Structure 1
């Protein structure tokens, strides 16, 4: 295959991340904004009985749901696209004889599980009106800690699988490493404190719809990135054409 610098793949990864950010924005806007509006309405209704005076929001809700949401998801997609491209550079050829497209999809799926799914199952996202403002620092710290633990455990499982592969074969080594990852994550789930600050009168259906929507946003982002970056990477790392021998003219 043609040699290619990590910088070129980084640029392509950020471009794929931009496309992934667009997909995430569309899913968040279509599926998520109605859930956010419903949660805000519940919060405002609960605060209506308290006389705190009228406070105007510095940014309108319409601007938050369009320009604010779009800017956030696009920047988030570009940043994650660059990180994923660097992971792809390391993984290509080291996790098996996969094509660039297959490697991109594997990297994308692995990062989705590591950075989103595993932390989500322990500390799922909450809509507005859910959560004590006094514990926001604690909740944020625990969530970031869960992401860091998941990333470290994922890297450890990858190293374990590579070391076991020569003796046990790729399949058996992958199964053992995956089971070890799940076991240690389960221990982390049991060790870290839980958080349950959902008000008793908050609609259960709304909170789970919101949580599933946030997971769908991340799934849409990583799926789009895997497909787009796999296409761009494969075109960049295409096999070099064999040089043609010059044909001598017949005299």
Structure 2
């Protein structure tokens, strides 16, 4: 693939990531912010109950925390959230478009649109879904601050392991395809990926202390479902938009010949 084509795909991938980020922001604002507000309310209620036992030191700490809050909650939930989601979408769109450029024609005889859909599905599964199942998202102001370094390390380790296992599954599937056929090779490679992920889930350490004791389970569940929905919308929209743009770029429409050219030449008088 020529460098100019890769560059055009990169631009289209970032554009598709921007569109996906806009819709993901709408989902995040609609169903993601209410659980965040609830979790902050729970944290504030716990702090208020602990404040009388802390004496003047607790009041001073609370006043200092209020002074340190340079950005209001309304700005965080609108402009801050939108900026973060859009930058995230554009960055992932660019990376996914480069992965698409490498995968096109190497994973089977799929059209650009189908390859884009497969790339988006694989990225969502390996980069988010598998790590999420092992180390699910935690609402802000709820996680145990003593374990934030451990939680971050384990999450990124799970992402790296999931991506490597996904690449390995694709390689195994391609090598088995000549003997087993595409469908059977895909089933075998997928089963191997699931088995390897299950083994990783068993041997990697748990993260049971990620949430403070006594936090409402319903709020935690709503937050995690919202996080999963945001990622699903982001990657689904990216796959559709980028697939359409890549199809138009790589498979240009053929111009129909004039109708007169298709008619038989009349016999000479």
Calculate the TM-score normalised by the size of structure 1. 0.93
Unaligned runs of 5+ in 1: none
Q: Give the structure 2 partner of residue 227 of structure 1.
A: 240
CA distance in 2: counterparts of 1:164 and 1:72, whole angstroms: 42
Q: Give the structure 1 partner of residue 41 of structure 2.
A: 41
Bigger Cα displacement from structure 2, 93-102 vs 168-177: 93-102
For the structure 1 residues 195 and 124, does the alpha-carbon distance in structure 2 shift closer, same or farther, using more than 3 Å as the test? same
Match of 2:125 among 91, 113, 117: 113
List structure 1 segments (4+ residues) > 3 angstroms apart after TM superposition: 239-245
CA distance in 2: counterparts of 1:67 and 1:200, whole angstroms: 32
Match of 2:112 among 100, 109, 113: 100
Match of 1:136 among 122, 142, 148: 148
Q: Give the structure 1 partner of residue 84 of structure 2.
A: 72
- Aligned-pair CA distance for 1:167: 1.1
- Aligned-pair CA distance for 1:3: 10
CA distance in 1: counterparts of 2:151 and 2:41, whole angstroms: 24
CA distance in 1: counterparts of 2:155 and 2:44, whole angstroms: 27
- Aligned-pair CA distance for 1:157: 0.4
CA distance in 1: counterparts of 2:212 and 2:79, whole angstroms: 30
CA distance in 2: counterparts of 1:122 and 1:5, whole angstroms: 38
Q: Give the structure 2 partner of residue 10 of structure 1.
A: 10
CA distance in 2: counterparts of 1:142 and 1:160, whole angstroms: 27
Bigger Cα displacement from structure 2, 92-101 vs 4-13: 92-101
- Aligned-pair CA distance for 1:103: 1.1
- Aligned-pair CA distance for 1:243: 10
Q: Deviations over 1:166-198 (max 9, x none)?
A: 111111111111111011111110111011123
Whether the 8 Å contact between 1:25 and 1:74 is mirrored in structure 2 is yes
CA distance in 2: counterparts of 1:30 and 1:131, whole angstroms: 23
Calculate the TM-score normalised by the size of structure 2. 0.87
Q: Radius of gyration: which is bigger?
A: 2
Looking at secondary structure, tell me which structure has more helix per residue.
2
For the structure 1 residues 242 and 25, does the alpha-carbon distance in structure 2 shift closer, same or farther, using more than 3 Å as the test? closer
Q: How many residues align?
A: 246
CA distance in 2: counterparts of 1:79 and 1:53, whole angstroms: 37
The alignment partner of 2:175 has SS state of helix
Unaligned runs of 5+ in 2: 52-57, 262-269
Q: Give the structure 1 partner of residue 213 of structure 2.
A: 200
For the structure 1 residues 94 and 36, does the alpha-carbon distance in structure 2 shift closer, same or farther, using more than 3 Å as the test? same
Whether the 8 Å contact between 1:43 and 1:128 is mirrored in structure 2 is no
